[in-house]
Structure 1
């Protein structure tokens, strides 16, 4: 390790990676896909940036608006045919929150395990932790806050992806950008983060992105070494230095010469090793145990810890000068609970690795939007709501259990024990229910028992027809009476409308699926499919579903 060129480096204060106030100020509400019949679409995002300024609401249906992967080019609507064409709406809420409005005859929406009736208000703190939504029992979304990637930000999307860190959350993007900032420098790096967050992955990225990539990468977990042998393992030994030292050993520093040495759990180093580490950082020389002659080493040192080093310094268990030297630059890896929008993408990443070993990797690519989701929406929500105390390491283990436990089945199956584990510390979802609101009315919209004057069909708008049909439970005669036009004209207006369809437009598969979901209740089917009751009943009979 080369000695410092500037004496000021001896007291360098750590530069810790963190979001700046300007970054936080630009965070906007967003929806990220965490469950879909086409698994390859999981991770796509829709920014609800118009809500931040209160300029406009966002109407979400199966046909609009488009979702795209952060940094990607292609964009598509949700496209699930079982979602209603009647949109749910997201509007600006109070003090940075978001209001969700769900029409009574639109797509059913569930938050957590609770169906939304009318609407729900989500405060800003709910968006900060993430709110999982399920549409029609099939599509799962996470409502959260995201920071749009600014033009000119460090690293292209391809550069960031090449680092091997899965996810597009603000926290993990910041980690990847910090890796690119410091990888080509020789300063020591301290990686902080809870156990299981992937600190070694960050160290490997620093190595592969830097000028030492052709040299060795040596990883050492100090917590796994005997405290009596840590010095010998790190700095090497001379024969006869202690009982059992029958030959010279180079040690990890010399093994990493010309490359990178990663020391995990550096807080576990005993005091004498801390002093030796400080000497190595300052002089670039190691003293093998039992030796009197220093040996020069050229090593880029990366350390990691999940401990509070400042508290240990206060207690006298860690040397402050060593922290200052280790932390030439700090990178903080966020825990999984702070990057919930990445959980589904990470899960698929680990599931793909397991499926490749079983020859079933094709399950994660589908062109059929009507298929039953391989990752059920209810499971996607469970994954998103779990606290993940073991972080990414725990998620990888859960993915392995689910894939192996569901081998040969069309979708993932969760056993009761795993359900209990995921639900035990599930994220609570704050939010205030809203009272169901009637649809907006115009002068000609049906209200009360008013009978409107006779009108010309050409004077009736598409929206008026839609609202009248809903108010009259899709009874075409009642709708004609409300609108003050002949019943035959209602058929003509429906045929011309881009907002409406008829029972003959429904596929047999859609009718059959809805029949079973509604348990044969025709009224529920009418509300779900938004077509005439009489015409739907005829189609049900034609398909032989009555009596099944």
Structure 2
């Protein structure tokens, strides 16, 4: 059997569809980094694999193109071999084999070189597998929907061609010209307000006002007055009436962000407006008719808040006249290259250096180095699009005067640590071990079934070897990281002060294993901290 990358649990992988009831998926390769920046985002669908045939990818073919575009071109990097990489159907459903030929292009995953034939599981493909070709081009191997290749009519201001984004665009087009309220769900930083603006711009109210209100930023005692206005004399100091956001948005669209933070009395008033089209200003007794389309957004679990009595079920039903989900960045990794270059161009334009991204010389060094591009792809992005924009600014400004982007050691360390917890992550020298099927030390189970005492005992038993601990507990390694982060009695190497590490180094005379046991942190992560501090552990 071909060796595989580190096994991962599908429970730790974002759902991307598939299975007998889901859409049919096919593998695809998307350009994340290339010496010619304009090539970023181009895609090659590997449809032949679903028919049992091979696909050979080299410098000269086949063609990569934008989704839906009639023409494309091969990778064309002169440092990539003409001897192809061969992709073929794997031995299990949904898996893909990658064969690297002797004398061909060097292929690496997170700095670990692949040789011979490797089999990538369906769950690893669902997470996205970044392939570095010749340390110059980065391709992401990932699934796409078989029927999802038609060009979208309008980008709606959203960058990307991932399945999730294309699906979101279609839903926006379907609901935009209707007057129903829309509830936009998604994690913080995913761009929910951008979705609301796109709906407004394509609605019948596009000539009216679009007002955005963040309920989480308004003191709870003022929320009702801010939204519904006040009657003169409603409270001490109210010498004149106040219009409020609803009346200010009359004839247009009102976007309420963080609607889950609405106080109970505001929830009652919102429900009345949605049911009757009328509101009562604070202190008023006469209803006022308003013509407003309400769009709301939340990153909270409103169903859980309903069960806890913190949110009213009838209001959720009214708000969710149509329900939209904005996918997090980790579920649309194939868009990351285009998004990064989009934000980088904005920053370079502000610096007067946008010409850096107009390069068409395939012999040039990639402005986004392949190793850094891979770290970006493998990062978990808890802050989503907002975090990516900030990171692009940090890298661009921090690399002024340099021919290529460079990450300072602290930032590089953060990217590497977070990527280590990614499902299917191939960390140098570790994940390229070849576990056989069924070789787990314990049956698979949910992380929620692991108690803190059991977790600590397993960590101590395996000397804080996180891979061995996860296998012993029968949970995916990403879930182990989550359990450690959530435990108030456990810490990571990143939590240690430099003084504490230095004292332990002296006490144990540089013995890394002894230090890891004493400090109760990962040996590998502790080794990185020692390197940062200029301390060299004793040779074994």
TM-score of the pair, normalised by structure 1: 0.73
Q: Cα offset for 1:181?
A: 0.5
1:107-146 → structure 2 map (5 Å cutoff)? 107-146=105-144
Contact 2:367 2:403 in 1 (8 A): yes
2:234 is the alignment partner of 1:241: yes
Paired residues, number: 413
Q: What is the Cα deviation at residue 25 of structure 1?
A: 3.2
Q: Could you report, residue by residue, the CA deviation over 1:404-434 in whole angstroms, capped at 9, with x for unpaired residues?
A: 1112221111101111221221124368869
Alignment-derived partner of residue 255 in structure 1: 248
Q: What does residue 91 of structure 1 align with? A: 88
Q: Quick check: 1:112–1:429 contact (8 Å CA) kept in 2?
A: no
Partner of 2:77: 80
Aligned positions of 1:158-173 closer than 5 A = 159-161=153-155, 163-173=156-166
- Structure 1 range deviating more: 85-94 or 181-190: 85-94
Residues 22/286 of structure 1: CA separation in 2 closer, same or farther (3 Å cut): farther
Secondary structure of 2:392's match? helix
Q: What secondary structure does 2:93 align onto? A: helix
| Residue of structure 2 equivalent to 1:372 | 365
Q: Distance in 2 between matches of 1:180 and 1:25?
A: 21
CA distance in 2, matches of 1:258, 1:84: 61
SS in 2 for 1:413: coil
1:315 is the counterpart of 2:313: no
- Is the CA contact 2:86–2:98 (under 8 Å) kept in the aligned structure 1? yes
Spell out, residue by residue over 1:249-300, the C-alpha distance to the aligned partner (whole angstroms, 9 max, x if none): 1000011111100000000001111000000000001111011111111001
| Residue pair 1:260, 1:302 contacting (<8 A) in 2 also | yes
**Shift in Å at residue 148 of structure 1?**
4.1
Q: Any unmatched runs of 5+ in structure 2?
A: 1-15, 435-540
SS at match of 1:290: coil
Distance, in Å, in 2 between the alignment partners of 1:349 and 1:243 is 51
- Out of 314, 317, 322, the residue aligned to residue 324 of structure 1 is 317
What CA RMSD, in Å, does the superposition of the two structures yield over aligned residues? Answer: 1.9
- d(CA) in 1 for partners of 2:97, 2:179: 49
Q: TM-score, normalised by structure 2?
A: 0.74
What whole-Å deviation, never above 9, does each CA across 1:454-506 have from its counterpart, x for those lacking one?
xxxxxxxxxxxxxxxxxxxxxxxxxxxxxxxxxxxxxxxxxxxxxxxxxxxxx
Q: Which structure would you say has the larger Rg?
A: 1
Contact residue 340 and residue 388 of structure 2 kept, 8 A: yes
Matched, 1:408 2:401: yes
Give the one of 318, 342, 358 matched to 2:351. 358
Do 1:236 and 1:248's aligned partners in 2 also have CA atoms closer than 8 Å?
A: yes
Tell me, in whole angstroms, the C-alpha distance in 1 between the residues paired with 2:126 and 2:50. Answer: 14
Shift in CA distance, 137/342, structure 1 to aligned 2, threshold 3 Å: same
Q: Within the alignment, does 1:396 sit opposite 2:389 as a pair? A: yes
Q: 1:429 aligns with which of 424, 427, 452?
A: 424
In 1, the alpha carbon distance for the partners of 2:22 and 2:357 equals 34
Question: Structure 2 CA distance, aligned partners of 1:74 and 1:348?
Answer: 22
Cα distance change, pair 70–349 in 1 and its aligned pair in 2 (3 A) = same
Aligned-residue offset at 1:119: 2.2
